[in-house]
Structure 1
Amino acid sequence: MLLRKDGKQGKRIADITVGEKLHVTEKIEDKDLLLYLGLTNDNNPLFIQHDYAAKTPFEQPIVPQIMLNGIITSTISKHVPGPGSYIKEQSIKFLQPVRHYETIDFVLQVDEVDVQNNEVSIAVTANNAQRELVIEGILKVSPPYL
């Protein structure tokens, strides 16, 4: 959904508190992978070819890391702080591969609020269904000014 002129903006810096948390669960489906791969023209065989991936330590195709990063950044744009936010910096570690059809639980938590610089630090972690940590990172985000 595109934001209309009268659409709701995200939280401003004064309305954000340390410790705020958001949980998001995403199941990685074929339609999502095909859309991503089609839009980016990414034909890495590790992402789409079962016979190729079977010969690697991954044993089966994995989800592109940048696609997982997209889930994180879109969550920031939609929810924490929300529409009007700007990601200034990010450091994300992909600790384990995510495979097709996996369900991933993301947790985003506000760790710091810097009112003077209009910046929040948001920690992100993600676990697979076996509760293994697959992603961890930190993002510096400028909440909406208006």
Structure 2
Amino acid sequence: MSEIQRGTIYIDEIELGMKRSVTKEVTDKDIEMFAEVSTDHNPVHLDDDFAKGTMFKGRIAHGMLSAGLISAVIGEQLPGHGTIYMGQTLKFLAPVRPGDVVTAEVEVTAVIPEKRRVTMATRCLVGGKEVLSGEATVLAPSR
């Protein structure tokens, strides 16, 4: 994982346009561990021979593995520690393969300070190509 600044940005410090990201190479071990934790053992993720016969022509990572990187940015950086996830939309646009380097980004698009509510555009990229997009709504921590 890339070096990130962990901590908390309180609701009174959050501004429109603020951005944070994390970058991680998705490994075979990550995919295997995600399969164990999630109990999703779909062979498109785990079996080379099976996956070669699919539309993807090879193994792919679980979509929610990439989505989990968005959660990491929100929970560790923006707003960070103490944040409560309220909702997330996701569109999976392209597969992520073992060995791909994924960058998960969030950008603040709306702030409602009196409700401590923050809306963020979310996306994941591989080689500059968007592989996942969506929107998150969170309850940001206050002092």
TM-score normalised by structure 1 residue count: 0.88
CA distance in 2, matches of 1:94, 1:40: 18
The aligned counterpart of 1:64 is 62
Please point out which of 114, 117, 135 is paired with 2:132.
135
CA distance in 2, matches of 1:9, 1:106: 17
By how many angstroms is 1:40 displaced? 2.1
TM-score normalised by structure 2 residue count: 0.90
Give the aligned CA root-mean-square deviation in angstroms: 1.4
Moved more, 31-40 or 44-53: 31-40
Structure 1: 5+ residue stretches without partners: 1-7
Moved more, 64-73 or 33-42: 33-42
Contact 1:112 1:120 (C-alpha < 8 Å) held by counterparts: yes
The aligned counterpart of 1:39 is 37
Runs of 4+ deviating beyond 3 Å: none
By how many angstroms is 1:9 displaced? 5.7
Contact 1:111 1:123 (C-alpha < 8 Å) held by counterparts: yes
Structure 2: 5+ residue stretches without partners: 1-5
By how many angstroms is 1:13 displaced? 0.8
Q: SS where residue 82 of structure 2 aligns?
A: coil
Aligned residues: 138
Q: State the identity as a percent.
A: 28
Asked if 1:78 corresponds to 2:76, the answer is yes
Contact 1:107 1:126 (C-alpha < 8 Å) held by counterparts: yes
Q: How does 1:1-146 map to 2 (within 5 A)?
A: 10-129=8-127, 131-146=128-143
Contact 1:9 1:144 (C-alpha < 8 Å) held by counterparts: no
